[in-house]
Amino acid sequence: MHEWALAEAVISTAVEFAEKTGFEHITEIEISIGELQQIEEDPFLFALEEMLKEKSKPVDKNTKITLEKENAILKCKSCKHEWDYLNALNELDEEKVESIHFVPEVSHAFIKCPKCNSPDFEITNGRGVWINNIIGK
């Protein structure tokens, strides 16, 4: 159900955008999905396509949807080094990865900055779903 609510939000944003810019038809909507966001890409795309079938201009069945994944990036708070979250997870054993999956805060206990060894980092990218670009004419 989450995917349908999200799809509806995307479509109404695109319609508002068309009203503001005066576009008659939206040809493409580019959406980014953070890899930490628990969105199933296929059902999300399906929901969007089903909704677009029912719509008429400015968005309709000819509006193309592109989804792209954004990698999660970790940033060390002490030395500002940035590194890839999934790579960091790959270096851990499975049991730890499981516990991080359920409680993301736990990652601070297992992942340390590869440069300065600090456990004090933040996740800077890879969260949320947003519209990257709306193309129309």
* Interacting residue with Zn ion among 76, 100, 111, 134 (CB under 5 A): 76
- Binding of Zn ion by 79 (CB under 5 A): yes
- Binding of Zn ion by 82 (CB under 5 A): no
- Binding of Zn ion by 113 (CB under 5 A): yes
- Binding of Zn ion by 81 (CB under 5 A): yes
* Interacting residue with Zn ion among 40, 41, 115, 132 (CB under 5 A): 115
Query: HEC states along 57-124?
Result: CCCCCCCEEEEEEECCEEEECCCCCEEEHHHHHHCCCHHHHHHHHHCHHHHHHHCCCCCCCCCCEEEE
- Binding of Zn ion by 75 (CB under 5 A): no
Q: Find how far residue 120's CA is from the centre of its chain.
A: 24
- Binding of Zn ion by 108 (CB under 5 A): no
- What phi and psi, each to the nearest 5 degrees, are found at residue 4? -70, -40
Residue numbers of the site for Zn ion (CB under 5 A)? 76, 79, 81, 113, 115-116, 118
